[in-house]
């Protein structure tokens, strides 16, 4: 299985467990690996035969704009489920990082893997 990559995608959303965090938008940084067979798309040179990373990136931005969660874990789980359903993705690995959330750490976050490769 091949992997389509989207790395260091940044989105702004309302996320956090503290009251003050619920009043501002914060940046999240995402890395995705999406399993697919790229051979049909490569043979035909046809975007419709692969995972369209531009469309997926746009969907992620819309998701982040429309949803507000307390936990990065919830954001990751719900986003993974949305992408798998809407883009027929059998397997994905998603990392969600929240830069600056903890003093002396570049970022904190989660990495999840869902589906069968």
Tens-place pLDDT, residues 1-33 = 999 999 999 999 999 999 999 999 999 999 999
pLDDT band at 97 (very low <50, low <70, confident <90, very high): very high
Residue 117 has pLDDT above 80, yes or no: no
pTM: 0.95
Return all residues near 36 (Cβ < 8 A) that are at least 6 apart.
Answer: 1, 2, 3, 4, 50, 51, 89, 90
86-96: average pLDDT: 97
Catalytic residue, from 14, 98, 102, 104: name it.
98
Told to judge if 96 belongs to the known catalytic residues of this protein, a careful annotator would answer no
């Amino acid at each position: 299985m091949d992997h389509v990559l989207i790395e260091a995608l940044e989105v702004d959303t309302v996320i956090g467990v503290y009251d003050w965090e619920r009043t501002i938008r914060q940046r999240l940084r995402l890395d995705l690996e999406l399993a697919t067979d790229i051979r049909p798309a490569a043979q035909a040179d046809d975007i419709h035969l692969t995972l369209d990373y531009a469309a997926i990136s746009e969907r992620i931005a819309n998701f982040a704009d429309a949803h507000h969660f307390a936990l990065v874990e919830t954001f990751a789980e719900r986003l993974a489920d949305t992408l798998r359903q809407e883009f027929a993705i059998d397997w994905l690995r998603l990392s969600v990082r929240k830069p600056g959330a903890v003093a002396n750490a570049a970022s904190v976050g989660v990495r999840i893997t869902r589906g069968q490769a």
